[in-house]
């Protein structure tokens, strides 16, 4: 009878070491090459400390803790006074402090005013990389970034709030703005009866003799209710209007904002998303009465870009974990990374992730041109008008499928919370839901096509820059224009086909960017698969290409 060897029984062999200790920025070649392309080597260099911190074991642990210990609402104090405070685990504050400190909130608006030509690109790349820590806290960071262009419709309000929102000091807690070193902003649009159709808002705004308004009504979704200020839509006498609603009034009293409850969400669990009630809530009008949608659309546009950046970051995180795993795990006598079929899967995921990154950075670089009114600004504005809803629709729509497949690369371990893959998987659908769900963005593409001919011209010009380099791309440009032509004649067909068209236009734009900017093996696989007529979206069904080379390019190096 042999001896029972408990030590060897318990040895964890063939298990993969955690992916920590890498520089998230440097390890992501698609990201770092894009930053140099649209910016410069010094922009890339400035992002390396953020990338190093995002890749630490501590960052990974804090991200995990913030999602295990959810925010809690305290409605009343012990004496029965209303409090409406949300408390977070210290890990949330750890993440927020660093995100704000790295300048990922509204900092670029002030940097750009100081002459930094790449402020928005830097912030976009930083936002993508920092999202590897965990994605939930990106919500208040995004909204704070996005509020500034909307606030600019009113010089005085912009002057009052921008320095606080642009601060690199995270200063949580409810105090009057004048006593704070930094502030965060949220948005309240969605109501019970409708989120996409914000013109159906029923919250009313009553003008007061002192020029302020009071709000009466509710919001069905308002994330990050502990933020210092919110841009809120409500019905004034002349229609839907945008308002600035501070959490604490200048005299130190709390503005009446009742947090009814926090949502019990699928994912995004580190972040608090609330239902609010207003009853006499003090609000300051931002922009003209009746122009609320026009005013807040500037904020929505910026958050839509962050949805693209966030989804591209999520994809990259998922693909990093998948490629890392297969590089360290063996089955049937060899590394998974050496199995031809696994190479097919990981290479396909990598190409999707790179296409998302290239498009996201292209859009982010347009923000710098627009902000600085460069000679390209006209083209960039027209391109952004159509490419932003295209990217918001397509990149966010591809993320859940990619995340599920990346999870599977880790086998059963990928289904277990400690791997962090479930966190990514639960988060993955969200960017497609909020800030204009899939249909809403596809319909926005049609709106741009119908009302702003320069938007289609800009798309044609942009994809045309790659013409002649790849016959499959050329054919896809032509067939997409033919599809558009065939749908245009009939409004119902056009609406029915909105997703099909938006998906094609987005993929062609991604293909053109990859052909221009990425290594040939990546562009080749993308054009051969995504731009062909038989592509069914299943990962790992590539017909050929330099799969090993693509996998090596995407696997993080410590």
Interface positions with ligand FAD (CB under 6 A): 186-190, 194-197, 221-223, 265, 268, 273, 430, 433-435, 437-440, 443
Distance of closest approach, residue 304 Cβ to ligand FAD, in angstroms = 11
**Nearest to ligand FAD of 22, 247 (CB atom):** 247
Q: In terms of CB distance, is 143 or 342 closer to ligand FAD?
A: 143
Residue 142 Cβ, how far from ligand FAD at the closest point, in Å?
Answer: 10
DSSP state, residue 179: G
Q: Between helices 155-165 and 138-151, what is the axis angle to 10°?
A: 150
What DSSP line would sit under 469-530, residue for residue? S-HHHHHHHHHHHHHHHHHHT-HHHHHHTHHHHHHHHHHHHHHHHHHHHS-HHHHHHHHHHT
Count Cβ neighbours within 10 Å for each residue of 91-123 and write b for 16 or more, e otherwise. Answer: bbebbbebbbbbbbbbbbbbbbeeebbbbbbbb
Taking each helix axis from N to C end, the angle separating 498-517 and 471-488, rounded to the nearest 10 degrees, works out to 160
Q: For residue 73, what are the CA distances in angstroms to 226, 248, 260, 262, 271? A: 10, 18, 9, 7, 12
Q: What is the separation of C-alpha 44 from the centre of its chain, rounded to a whole number of angstroms?
A: 20
Least Cβ distance, residue 66 to ligand FAD (angstroms): 15
Cβ atoms of residues 402 and 349 within 8 Å? yes
Identify the three-state secondary structure at position 223. strand
Minimal distance in Å, beta carbon 181 to ligand FAD? Answer: 24
Helix axes 119-130, 138-151, angle to 10 degrees: 160
Least separation, in Å, of the C-beta of 301 and ligand FAD? 14
Distance CA 140, CA 147 (A): 10
By beta-carbon proximity to ligand FAD, the closer residue of 437 and 479 is 437
Nearest approach, Cβ of residue 237 and ligand FAD (Å)? 22
In angstroms, the CA 515 to CA 521 distance is 10
Is residue 332 within 8 Å of residue 95, measured between CB atoms?
A: no
Q: Are 229 and 247 in contact (CB under 8 A)?
A: yes
Q: By CB neighbour count within 10 A (0-12 exposed, 13-18 middle, 19+ buried), where does 225 fall? A: buried
**Cα-based distances in Å from 122 to 70, 104, 215:** 30, 9, 38
Nearest-approach distance from CB 199 to ligand FAD, in angstroms:
12
CB-wise, 335 or 433, nearer to ligand FAD? 433
Measured from the CB atom, the residue of 15 and 193 that comes closer to ligand FAD is: 193
Separation of alpha carbons 432 and 429, rounded Å: 6
d(CA 522, CA 147): 36
Q: Which is nearer to ligand FAD, 210 or 264 (CB)?
A: 264
Yes or no: say if 148 and 367 are a contact pair by the CB < 8 Å rule.
Answer: no
Kindly state the smallest distance separating residue 188's Cβ from ligand FAD, in Å. Answer: 5
Of 192, 202, 197, 166, the closest CA to residue 181 belongs to 166
Nearer residue to ligand FAD within complex by CB, 368 or 435: 435
Q: Determine the Cα–Cα distance for residues 102 and 97; give it in Å rounded to an integer.
A: 9
Residue 272 or 347 having the CB closest to ligand FAD: 272
41, with CB counted inside 10 A (0-12, 13-18, 19+), is: exposed
| Nearer to ligand FAD among residue 64 and residue 268 (C-beta) | 268
Comparing every residue's Cβ against ligand FAD, the nearest one is 195
Cα–Cα nearest to 286, from 167, 158, 200: 158
Comparison of 443 and 514: residue with beta carbon closer to ligand FAD: 443
Q: Give Cα 542 distance to the centre of its chain.
A: 28
Neighbours of 437 (CB within 10 A): 15
Instruction: Provide the minimum distance between the beta carbon of 58 and ligand FAD in the complex, in angstroms, as a whole number.
Output: 27
Q: How far is the CB of 220 from ligand FAD (least distance, A)?
A: 7
Backbone angles phi, psi at 428, to 5 degrees: -55, -40
CB of 149 to ligand FAD, least distance (A): 17
Q: How far apart are CB 441 and ligand FAD at their closest, in Å? A: 8
Which residues, in sequence order, are CB contacts of 528 under 8 Å at separation 6+? 472, 542, 543, 544, 545
* 424/531 with CB nearer ligand FAD: 424
CB of 222 to ligand FAD, least distance (A): 5
For ligand FAD, the closer of residues 401 and 440 by Cβ is 440
Nearer to ligand FAD, 42 or 196 (CB): 196
- Which residue's CB is nearer to ligand FAD, number 149 or number 186? 186
Least distance in angstroms from the C-beta of 63 to ligand FAD? 18
- CA atoms within 13 A of residue 3's CA, in its CB half-sphere: 4
């Amino acid at each position: 009878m042999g001896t029972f060897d408990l030590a060897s029984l318990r040895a964890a062999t063939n298990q993969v070491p955690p992916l920590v200790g890498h520089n998230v920025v440097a390890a992501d070649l698609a990201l770092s090459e894009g930053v140099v392309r649209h910016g410069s080597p010094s922009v890339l260099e400035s992002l390396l400390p953020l990338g190093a911190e995002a890749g630490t074991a501590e960052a990974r642990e804090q991200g995990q803790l913030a999602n295990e210990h959810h925010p809690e609402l305290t409605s009343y104090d012990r004496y029965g006074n209303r409090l409406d405070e949300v408390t977070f685990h210290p890990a949330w504050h750890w993440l927020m402090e660093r995100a704000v400190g790295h300048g990922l909130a509204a900092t670029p608006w002030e940097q750009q005013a100081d002459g930094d030509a790449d402020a928005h690109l830097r912030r976009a790349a930083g936002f993508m990389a920092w999202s590897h820590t965990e994605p939930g806290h990106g919500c208040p960071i995004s909204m704070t970034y996005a509020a500034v262009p909307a606030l600019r419709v009113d010089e005085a309000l912009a002057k009052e709030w921008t320095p606080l929102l642009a601060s690199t000091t995270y200063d949580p807690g409810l105090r009057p703005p004048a006593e704070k070193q930094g502030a965060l902003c949220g948005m309240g649009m969605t109501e019970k009866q409708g989120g996409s159709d914000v013109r159906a808002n029923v919250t009313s705004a009553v003008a007061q003799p002192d020029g302020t308004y009071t709000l009466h009504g509710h919001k069905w979704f308002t994330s990050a209710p502990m933020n210092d200020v919110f841009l809120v839509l409500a019905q004034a006498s002349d229609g839907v209007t945008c308002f600035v609603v501070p959490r604490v009034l200048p005299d130190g009293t709390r503005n009446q904002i009742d947090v009814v409850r926090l949502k019990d969400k699928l994912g995004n669990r580190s972040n608090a998303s609330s239902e609010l009630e207003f009853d006499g809530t003090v609000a300051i009008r931002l922009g003209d009465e009746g122009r609320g949608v026009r005013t807040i659309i500037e904020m929505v546009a910026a958050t839509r870009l962050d949805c693209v950046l966030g989804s591209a970051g999520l994809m990259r995180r998922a693909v990093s974990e998948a490629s890392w795993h297969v590089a360290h795990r063996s089955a049937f006598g060899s590394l998974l990374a050496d199995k031809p079929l696994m190479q097919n899967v990981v290479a396909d995921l990598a190409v999707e992730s790179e296409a998302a990154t290239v498009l996201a950075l292209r859009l982010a670089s347009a923000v710098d041109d627009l902000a600085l009114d460069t000679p390209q600004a006209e083209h960039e504005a027209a391109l952004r008008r159509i490419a932003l809803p295209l990217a918001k629709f397509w990149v966010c729509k591809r993320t859940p499928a990619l995340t599920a497949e990346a999870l599977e690369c880790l086998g059963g371990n990928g289904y277990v919370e400690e791997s962090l893959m479930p966190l990514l998987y639960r988060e993955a659908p969200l960017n497609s839901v909020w800030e204009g769900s899939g249909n809403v963005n596809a319909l926005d593409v049609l709106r741009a096509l119908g009302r702003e001919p320069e938007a289609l011209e800009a798309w044609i010009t942009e994809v045309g820059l790659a013409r002649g380099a790849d016959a499959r791309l050329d054919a896809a440009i032509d067939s997409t224009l033919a599809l558009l032509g065939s749908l245009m004649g009939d409004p119902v067909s056009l609406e029915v086909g909105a997703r099909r068209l938006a998906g094609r236009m987005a993929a062609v734009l991604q293909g053109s960017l990859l052909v221009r900017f990425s290594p040939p093996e990546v562009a080749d696989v993308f054009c051969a698969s995504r731009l062909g007529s038989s592509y069914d979206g299943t990962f790992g069904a590539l017909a050929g290409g330099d799969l090993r080379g693509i996998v090596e390019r995407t696997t993080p190096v410590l």
